[in-house]
C-alpha cells in the first residue's frame, strides 16, 4: 500500500466524490483559487472549475445556511470552515437549521450536508482559534460528528460523510494534515459509527479520538516498554453515532478505562463515555474510570504551556499508571 498524508487523503476523498456524484459541490473561504487555507482542496478548482469548487466571502452564517438550503433540494454541499472555531458565528444554521429541519418537517426534508475543517488546539494561535466543538455537536440530536486521526480514516470517513443523507460534521486537525499513513488506491468507505482498535492490549483500555489517539499510542508504547503494561488503544473515530459495543467489549476485557481527549472535561465526550462504561461494565471494573482532557481553561497562547495544556503522552502515562497500580 502507498503512504499519503492526511491532507492528501482528504483531498482524494473530495475529488473522488466530486467525480462520483454531480451534486457534490465544495464551498468555503479560500477553497478554490487560493487552494485552501490549509491546502486540503489544492488543485481541485483547477481540475473541476467554478461550478464544483466555490470561493465564498467571509460569511459563515450566510454560506453555511445557503448550503443547508441547497441540500434540502438535493445538492450535497461540502462546506469548509477554515477553522471549526469560526462555527459559532453560524451556530444557528449549524445547530438549529441543519439538525432540526428533518424533525420539524416530520421526516419530509433531508439535509445531506457535510461541514468540515480543522478543530484543534496546539497551534500557538490562542483561545479563539483553538476550539474543539465535537461535544457540542454530539449533544444535538440530528447531527453526526466524526474525528479521524489517521490518513486512512480521514479518507474513508470523508467519503462516508458525503454519501450520508444526514448532516455529518467532520473535525479535522491541522497538526495531523501532514502526517502520513497507508491508504489503499481503491475506493473504500468507513462506516460512520465504527470504532477502531489502533493497538490491542489486555491491561487497560485507553479510549480516545482525534489527535489524542496518537498521544495515547505513544503513551501505550511507553507503558509496554517501561512498565510491561499492555494498553489497548480504542479510537472512537465517530462520536455520534458512537460505537458503544466496541467500548464495552474492550473494557470488559481489560477491566480498566482511561478516557483521553483534547476536549475540555466538563460535559466533554469522555463524560458521556464514562457514564456508558459504568452503566454497562459496572461489575467488570477493577478501578475507577479516569479521564485526561485539555486543562480546563481557554487555550493558552504561550507555547510550552499550550503543549502541556493538551493531553501529553506523559500525562496519559501517569494516569494509566495510577489506574494499574
Partner 1 sequence: MSSKKKQGFEAIATEADPRGFEGHSINQSLSSEEKIGFYREMVRIRRFEERSLRAYQQGKIGGFLHLYIGQESVAVGSLSVCGENDHVITAYRDHGHALASGMNMNECMAEMFGKHTGCSKGKGGSMHFFAPEKNYWGGHGIVAGQTPLGLGLAYALKYKGIKGAALCYMGDGAVNQGVFHESLNLASLFELPVVYIIENNGYSMGTSLQRSSAYTESLGKRAEAYNIEWETVQGHLIYEVRAKVNEAIQRAHESSKPTILEIITYRYRGHSIADANADKYRTKEEVKEYQEKKDPINVWRNLLLEDKVLTEEQAKEIDKQARAEADASADFADQSPYPPTESIIEDVYWTHDNPGKHDNEGRIFFNDDWGPQA
Q: Which is nearer to partner 1, 189 or 285 (CB)?
A: 189
* Closer residue to partner 1 in complex, CB, 125/271: 271
Residues sharing a CB contact under 8 Å with residue 169, sequence separation 6 or more, in sequence order: 94, 114, 115, 116, 134, 137, 143, 144, 145, 146
Instruction: Return the C-alpha cell found at 229.
Output: 503494561
Q: Which is nearer to partner 1, 281 or 290 (CB)?
A: 281
Q: Is the separation of the CB atoms in 208 and 216 below 8 Å?
A: yes
CB burial of residue 248 (10 Å; 0-12, 13-18, 19+): middle
**Comparison of 57 and 228: residue with beta carbon closer to partner 1:** 57
Exposure letters 14-30 (e unless 16+ CB within 10 A, then b): bbbbbeeeebbbbbbbb
User: Hey, which residues are catalytic here?
Assistant: 60, 129
Q: Among residues 196 and 261, whose Cβ is nearest to partner 1?
A: 196
Chain center to CA of 277: 21
**Which CA distances in Å does 277 have to 64, 135, 171?**
36, 18, 24
Q: At what angle do helices 6-20 and 151-163 cross, to 10 degrees?
A: 30
Q: Least separation, in Å, of the C-beta of 40 and partner 1? A: 22
For residue 3, is it left (φ>0), alpha (ψ between -120 and 50) or beta? beta
Nearest alpha carbon to residue 121 among 194, 178, 175:
175
Q: Which residues bind to partner 1, rule: CB under 8 A?
A: 23, 25, 51, 56-57, 59, 61-75, 92-93, 96-97, 101-110, 141-142, 144, 160, 164-166, 189, 191-195, 238, 240-245, 248, 272, 279-280
Minimum distance from residue 62 beta carbon to partner 1 (Å):
3
* Shortest distance (Å) from residue 106 CB to partner 1: 4
CB of 302 to partner 1, least distance (A): 33
- Of 184, 143, 134, the C-alpha closest to 164 is 143
**Shortest Å distance, C-beta 317 to partner 1:** 29
Residue 43, phi then psi, degrees to nearest 5: 85, -10
Burial of 276 (0-12, 13-18, 19+ CB in 10 A): middle
Minimum distance, C-beta of residue 19 to partner 1, in the bound complex (Å)? 17
Compute CA distances 105 → 33, 71, 109, 165, whole Å: 38, 15, 6, 15
Residue closer to partner 1, measured from CB, 166 or 221? 166
Amino acid at each position: 500500500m502507498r503512504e499519503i498524508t492526511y491532507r492528501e487523503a482528504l483531498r482524494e476523498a473530495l475529488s473522488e466524490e466530486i467525480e462520483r456524484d454531480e451534486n457534490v459541490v465544495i464551498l468555503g473561504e479560500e477553497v478554490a483559487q487560493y487552494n485552501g487555507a490549509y491546502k486540503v482542496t489544492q488543485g481541485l478548482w483547477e481540475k473541476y472549475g467554478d461550478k464544483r469548487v466555490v470561493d465564498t466571502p467571509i460569511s459563515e452564517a450566510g454560506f453555511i445556511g445557503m448550503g443547508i438550503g441547497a441540500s434540502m433540494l438535493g445538492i450535497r454541499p461540502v462546506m469548509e470552515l477554515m477553522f471549526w472555531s469560526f462555527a459559532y458565528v453560524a451556530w444557528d444554521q449549524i445547530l438549529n437549521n441543519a439538525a432540526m429541519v428533518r424533525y420539524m418537517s416530520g421526516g419530509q426534508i433531508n439535509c445531506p450536508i457535510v461541514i468540515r475543517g480543522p478543530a484543534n488546539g496546539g497551534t500557538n494561535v490562542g483561545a479563539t482559534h483553538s476550539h474543539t466543538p465535537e461535544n457540542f455537536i454530539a449533544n444535538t440530536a440530528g447531527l453526526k460528528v466524526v474525528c479521524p486521526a489517521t490518513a486512512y480514516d480521514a479518507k474513508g470517513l470523508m467519503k462516508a460523510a458525503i454519501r450520508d443523507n444526514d448532516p455529518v460534521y467532520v473535525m479535522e486537525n491541522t497538526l495531523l494534515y501532514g502526517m502520513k499513513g497507508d491508504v489503499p488506491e481503491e475506493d473504500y468507505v468507513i462506516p460512520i459509527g465504527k470504532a477502531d482498535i489502533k493497538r490491542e492490549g489486555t491491561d487497560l483500555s485507553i479510549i480516545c479520538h482525534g489527535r489524542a489517539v496518537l498521544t495515547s499510542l505513544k503513551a501505550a508504547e511507553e507503558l509496554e516498554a517501561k512498565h510491561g503494561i499492555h494498553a489497548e488503544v480504542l479510537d472512537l473515530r465517530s462520536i455520534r453515532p458512537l460505537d458503544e459495543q466496541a467500548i464495552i467489549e474492550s473494557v470488559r476485557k481489560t477491566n480498566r478505562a482511561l478516557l483521553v481527549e483534547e476536549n475540555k472535561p466538563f460535559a466533554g465526550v469522555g463524560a458521556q463515555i464514562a457514564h456508558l462504561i459504568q452503566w454497562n461494565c459496572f461489575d467488570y471494573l477493577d478501578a475507577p474510570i479516569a479521564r485526561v482532557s485539555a486543562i480546563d481553561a481557554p487555550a493558552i497562547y504561550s507555547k510550552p504551556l499550550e503543549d502541556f495544556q493538551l493531553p501529553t503522552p506523559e500525562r496519559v502515562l501517569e494516569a494509566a499508571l495510577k489506574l494499574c497500580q
